[in-house]
Amino acid sequence: MAANLKLKTKNSKRILIIYTGGTIGMMHHHKTKALVPLNFSEITSHIPELKHLKCKIDFHSWKKPIDSSNVDLDFWKELASVIEKNYSKHDGFVILHGTDTMAYTASALSFMLDNLQKPVILTGSQVPLGAIRNDARRNIITAMEIASSNVVIPEVGIYFSNQLYRGNRAEKYSSSKFDAFHSLSYPALVEAGVNIEYNKEAIAKKPKGKKFRVHKSLDSNVALIKLFPGIPYSMFWQVIKIDGLKAIVLEAFGSGNAPTDEVFIGYLKYATDRGIVIVDISQCSGGSVELGKYETSALLKKIGVVSGGDMTTEAALTKLMFLFGQNYSAKKVKQLMEKNLRGELS
């Protein structure tokens, strides 16, 4: 469902708001008082401030808005297709999305949208737009203002509570605070206070002479294992034996450390010898994996485990899905996992 809001502004930019679902677009029904999705063709009646932005606003709404917990690869492909279809007609995109999987979607889009030259900003809220005290209004207005700014941000970002983060660097860390996201390994691209301050040194450079492309082939044959003291090593064996498995993201301790137990290392070596890519990332939100720094990670490096550097879990998983979706060999995927493709890796 699409709608158009014609604002008479000279030389204004055109921004597409894409509503997929989530808390941000909910309103209380006037009779039942239950939360129901907002009709986005009437958004300016709920957020009249949008009328004062120097941009033309178009809308695209999912026919059936979804809870972000139901996000899957088909959803990402559809979302990328909407952007692809509207790319030439718009100067920027604001995606209204549930917060629970927003970082996954932002990371996936960062890899799927190749040679992006326009802002794609995801935002959401902790409290519905229809509530008296909410963060939805402020997040939508500021995300729109940034998307329509003369300072072009040619990348996928997450805007939340006064900060715009690089999408594949952000993580949701709180389910109750208005500042629900953070990015400990990369600075904010924008800080919105009384004035909107752009961190131009942190913003990606606009690609020159390269055509925008959308990659819709993704491969979900990846697994995630988080280490914990006392983890049964047989668990790894069960995962490794999954039919069609191509990669494992291993959330290790600290700077990439893991048990040195022979059985554990043996299982991982069995996997790498058979072409399963194992990417070591840290359970810590900040910091980076340094394989070989300590004895407890030297064995991982020796058996062919790949360092995920300072990638987030969301970035590592979606990057693997993207790379295997391009039909790269395991050897090529290993090389590219340690190479910065979209600003996901320092």
- DSSP for 278-306, please give it: EEEEESSSSS---TTSSHHHHHHHHTTPE
Q: Do residues 209 and 227 both lie within one domain?
A: no
User: 294 is in which domain, residue-wise?
Assistant: 222-337
Residue 320 lies in a domain: yes
pLDDT of residue 126: 87
Tell whether 279 and 169 lie within a shared domain: no
Using left for φ > 0, alpha for ψ between -120 and 50, and beta otherwise, residue 79 falls in: alpha
CATH code for position 308: 3.40.50.40
Identify whether residues 173 and 36 lie together within a single domain. yes
Residue 22 within a domain: yes
Q: Residue 31: its pLDDT value, please? A: 66
pLDDT at position 112 is: 98
pLDDT of 304 higher than 70 = yes
Same domain (yes/no): 6, 143: yes
Residue count of the chain: 346
If pLDDT is split at 50, 70 and 90, which confidence band does 245 have? Answer: very high
**Is residue 205 classed exposed, middle or buried when 0-12, 13-18 and 19+ CB atoms within 10 A define those classes?**
exposed
Which residue type is seen at 140? I
Is 104 found in the same domain as 204? yes
How many domains in the chain?
A: 2
What value does the mean pLDDT take over residues 125-131? 81
Which among 9, 20, 23, 44 is annotated as catalytic?
Answer: 23
Collect all residues with Cβ–Cβ distance below 8 Å to 74 and sequence separation of at least 6. Answer: none
Domain check: are 189 and 268 in the same one? no
Which of 183, 214, 245 is the last residue in one of the domains?
214
Question: Do residues 26 and 129 both lie within one domain?
Answer: yes
* 23 catalytic per annotation: yes
Tokens of 222: 């990846």
pLDDT at 7: 45
Per-residue pLDDT band at 6 (split at 50, 70, 90): very low
Separation of alpha carbons 119 and 281, rounded Å: 28
Place of tokens 């158009």: 4
What is the percentage of the chain residues whose pLDDT exceeds 70? 91
Is residue 32 over pLDDT 70? no
Average of per-residue pLDDT values in the chain:
91
CA distance 283 to 20: 30
The verdict on 27 and 80 lying in the same domain is: yes
Last residue of a domain, one of 190, 214, 238: 214
Q: Where does residue 133 rank: exposed (0-12), middle (13-18), buried (19+ CB within 10 A)?
A: exposed
| 149-195 pLDDT per residue, tens | 999 999 999 999 999 999 999 999 998 888 899 999 999 999 999 99
User: What's the pLDDT score for residue 343?
Assistant: 98
Is 345 within the bounds of a domain?
no
Domain-ending residue, one of 164, 187, 214 = 214
pLDDT (tens digit per residue) in 312-341: 999 999 999 999 999 999 999 999 999 999
- Per-residue pLDDT band for 44 (boundaries 50, 70, 90) equals low
Q: Among 13-17, 268-272, 294-298, which is the least confidently predicted range?
A: 294-298
pLDDT band with cut points at 50, 70 and 90 for residue 8: very low
Strands (E), the chain: 2-5, 13-19, 26-28, 35-37, 55-61, 92-96, 113-114, 120-123, 156-160, 163-166, 171-172, 181-182, 190-192, 196-198, 213-214, 222-226, 247-252, 277-282, 306-307
Classify residue 242: in a domain, yes or no.
yes
φ, ψ of residue 314 in degrees (nearest 5): -60, -40
Q: For residue 2, what pLDDT is reported?
A: 52
Confidence tier at 11 by pLDDT (50, 70, 90) = low
- Whether the CB-CB separation of 55 and 14 falls below 8 Å is answered with yes
Beta-carbon contacts of residue 195 (< 8 Å; ≥ 6 apart): none
Higher pLDDT, 208 or 189: 189
The label of the residue with tokens 């996901």 reads 344
DSSP state of 160: E
